[in-house]
A and B are shown apart, each in its own frame.
Chain A
Amino acid sequence: METFGELPADAASRDYWAAQRRRLASPPDGGLNIAFEAVDRHADGPDGDRPALRCIDGRGMVEEISFRQLAVLTNRFARLLQRLGLRPGDAVFTLLGREPALYITALGALKAGAVFCPLFSAYGPDPLRTRMAKGRCKVLVTSARQWTRKVAAFRNALPDLEHVLVVDDPWGQGAPGGTLDFGRAIEDADPRPVVPPTTKDDPALLFFTSGTTGAPKGALHAHEAVVVHHATARGVFGLAPGDIFWCTADPGWVTGTVYGILAPLTAGATVIADREEFDAVRWYRLLQEQSVAVWYTAPTAIRMLMRLDATAEGRALTDTLDLSALRLAASVGEPLNPQAVLWGKERLGKPFHDTWWQTETGGIMIANVPGVDIRPGSMGKPLPGVQADVVDRRPDGRIVPVSAPDTTGILALRTGWPSQFRSYIDEDDRYRSSFADGWYLSGDLARKDADGYFWFVGRADDVIKSAGHLIGPFEVESALMDHPAVAEVGVAGRPDAIAGEIVRAYVTLKPGFDADEALRRSLLAQARQRLGAAVAPREIVFVENLPKTNSGKILRRELRALGDGP
């Protein structure tokens, strides 16, 4: 795989990344493997007995796994994959929560030279099937519950799927027919070290992300991305061996894998793996009980924590919290409002450091880094080695930075950073169209102030950000279109104080159907069954007509103006 873009970053950036590359354990002229940098380099050194993972289950039980133990477990998984006939480049998917099997699978797959692809565990069958088919999933690791409820029914429609490994869950259903028991398979596997067969340009990570139109895009990253993982773990979070790091993102999204698993481990930090979903009281207690030093979370969660803290009962709890271990709090996923930044400073003792990056960038690109004054509401400044700018696309195709400060344009990055995505699988045109004139065009609109701080303005496309999840309107519309009552459907985000945006579907009906409560429920039920609660619309609005272009395309941006319908 080659890095796209004929105009690579400037000499200073190249020197910077070369220096970061030398910080890794693998010799610069040899192979490169993310899992080796995340696990084995520490396992074999003085930090080998430090905990790599601190897994907290639903009952609050804590299980620690040291780097040395994780090295053996991932050796076993890598050798299991080899025994199952997996070849380098084959795809291993997970549909799991933050539990030991997730970390073993991700790192073991990378070690074996496989491509690791995490799926969001709240997805319904439709998004799962689309992604597993497109990513040519060969091995799936999941729970018995997820498998039986969501995936087993379409197994035969996935010609590439060869093996399903099922993790025993608290319900103890055992491995259903046609699947292997993950725990037993690991126990039986050979624990001897594996020499990863990869080099810097070999594919490593596959993340699906949503666009305005068409099916989700599969952004593929190479092992070289670990240069950025490690550089940002140190530079943005200041991580070092022994630090306790808690990233709250779901492993099904790029943040949950890159910063929930890989980057902190490359720095030798201990990762908190909390199996449970969000709960404000629990989260406050976890911060204290686990002595979290660096915390990476998202605006929706921060706003929920603020709500609790705004009540007398919440204040009684937060007033007595001891967060003296907390060194840095950071946020990602959507712009963080200035009030939240300042609330962190006042109530947690640390302001939130906002960061910006995307699935395609593979790692943090712009941030309020420690030691630089935070501008509340701003995403910060480009990291060393990252050449970001706000640009204009000229009619002749040239990309020109916007010269006047505080002027809105496209947020763009000069190509050539090590964690740049290497393709959208099977969609070369779509991939190429994200680049122009030596720049990667992010699809985000931003402005840059006179001091070089970047400010998020909005998306250039119609994707929806709800509770930190990026949702493609097309996928949601497709799940409603074949409902017998639906004539047309357009999906857009409705602003929401907590979630950022709420997914809302505007529907016109076929003749003979009444826009009543029963139909509303029927539409919601269909969408939720297929897409899962996190992606399905929360609101259905019945309308007479949808706004369209002359050529008949739905104008999603104008849907919001329809309000709550008639």
Chain B
Amino acid sequence: MHPEEIRQMILDLLREICPDAEIGEIEAGVSFRDQFEFDSIDFLNLVLATEKILSLRIPEIDYPRLSSLDGCIGYLVPKVAEAREAERRMA
């Protein structure tokens, strides 16, 4: 998946989970928590929805890496590629 697709997906999810936040003005390098109202249940909902959409499992130990937009893109792009590669081999 292209980084831009991940970016769009995360922004869409944020609009759904915390529609009060100004998602258009998000700073990619700053944690969600430091920019708008975003608590640990919101975060869990973001992770669970991401897992579902991308059909992959995100281990809890990696959760801190998803705390900002840049973090999500940097973590998910290779992760998705890896998962698709594994699927291809299985097939």
Contact = CB atoms under 8 A, between A and B. Distances in A.
B41 A124 contact: no
Contacts of A534: 39, 41
A122 B61 CA distance: 25
A308 B64 CA distance: 12
Given A277-B33, A317-B61, A528 B20 contact: yes
Interface in A516-530: 521-522, 524-526, 528-529
Contacts of A532: 37
Given A281-B64, A524-B20, A467 B59 contact: no
Given A521-B16, A522-B19, A524-B20, A308 B61 contact: yes
A532 B41 CA distance: 12
A277 B40 CA distance: 8
Contacts of B19: 521-522, 524-525, 528
A316 to B, nearest CB: 8
B40 A311 contact: no
A122 B40 CA distance: 11
B75 interface: no
Interface string B4-32: 00000000000110111000000000000
A498 B60 CA distance: 14
Contact of A528 (B15, B37, B45, B61): B37
Nearest to A522: B19
Given A122-B39, A281-B64, A499-B41, A525 B20 contact: yes
Contact of A467 (B38, B41, B62, B63): B41
Given A524-B19, A525-B20, A277 B63 contact: no
Contacts of B81: none
Nearest to B40: A278
B61 A533 contact: no
B1 to A, nearest CB: 23
A311 B15 contact: no
A247 B21 CA distance: 31
Contacts of A466: 41
Interface in A441-486: 466-467
A280 B59 contact: no
Contacts of B15: 521
B61 A281 contact: yes
A528 B41 contact: no
Contacts of B83: none
A279 B47 CA distance: 14
A153 B15 CA distance: 26
Contacts of A122: 37, 39
A304 B48 CA distance: 13
B61 A529 contact: no
A47 B18 CA distance: 48
B60 A308 contact: yes
Contacts of A304: 40, 60
Contacts of B61: 280-281, 308, 311, 313-314, 317
Contact of B41 (A522, A525, A538): A538
Which of B33, B39, B63, B64 has the most chain A CB atoms inside 10 A of its CB?
B39
B20 to A, nearest CB: 4
B42 interface: yes
B59 A528 contact: no
B38 to A, nearest CB: 7
B44 interface: yes
A22 interface: no
A498 B40 CA distance: 11
Interface string A295-322: 0000000001001100111100100000
Contact of A311 (B16, B37, B60): B60
Contacts of B62: 313
B39 A538 contact: no
A304 B33 CA distance: 18
A314 B63 CA distance: 11
Nearest to B62: A313
A527 to B, nearest CB: 8
A142 B42 CA distance: 24
Given A525-B20, A528-B19, A533 B60 contact: no
Contacts of B38: 533
A404 to B, nearest CB: 40
Nearest to A529: B20
Contacts of B41: 466-467, 498-499, 502, 533-534, 538
A313 B16 contact: no
Interface in B61-80: 61-64
A498 B43 CA distance: 13
Nearest to A170: B34
A311 B37 CA distance: 29
Nearest to B57: A311
B60 to A, nearest CB: 4
Given A521-B19, A525-B19, A124 B60 contact: no
A313 B60 contact: yes
A532 B39 CA distance: 9
Contacts of B33: 277
Interface of B: 15-16, 18-20, 33, 37-42, 44-45, 59-64
Interface of A: 122, 124, 277-282, 304, 307-308, 311-314, 317, 466-467, 498-499, 502, 521-522, 524-526, 528-529, 532-534, 538
26 contacts: A122-B37, A122-B39, A277-B39, A279-B64, A281-B64, A304-B40, A307-B60, A308-B60, A311-B61, A312-B59, A313-B60, A313-B61, A314-B61, A467-B41, A498-B41, A498-B44, A521-B16, A521-B19, A522-B19, A524-B20, A528-B19, A528-B37, A532-B37, A533-B37, A533-B42, A534-B41
Which 3 A-B residue pairings sit nearest by Cβ, starting from the closest?
A521-B19, A308-B60, A525-B19
Given A499-B41, A528-B18, A528-B20, 9 more contacts: A280-B63, A307-B60, A308-B60, A312-B59, A502-B41, A524-B19, A525-B19, A528-B37, A533-B41
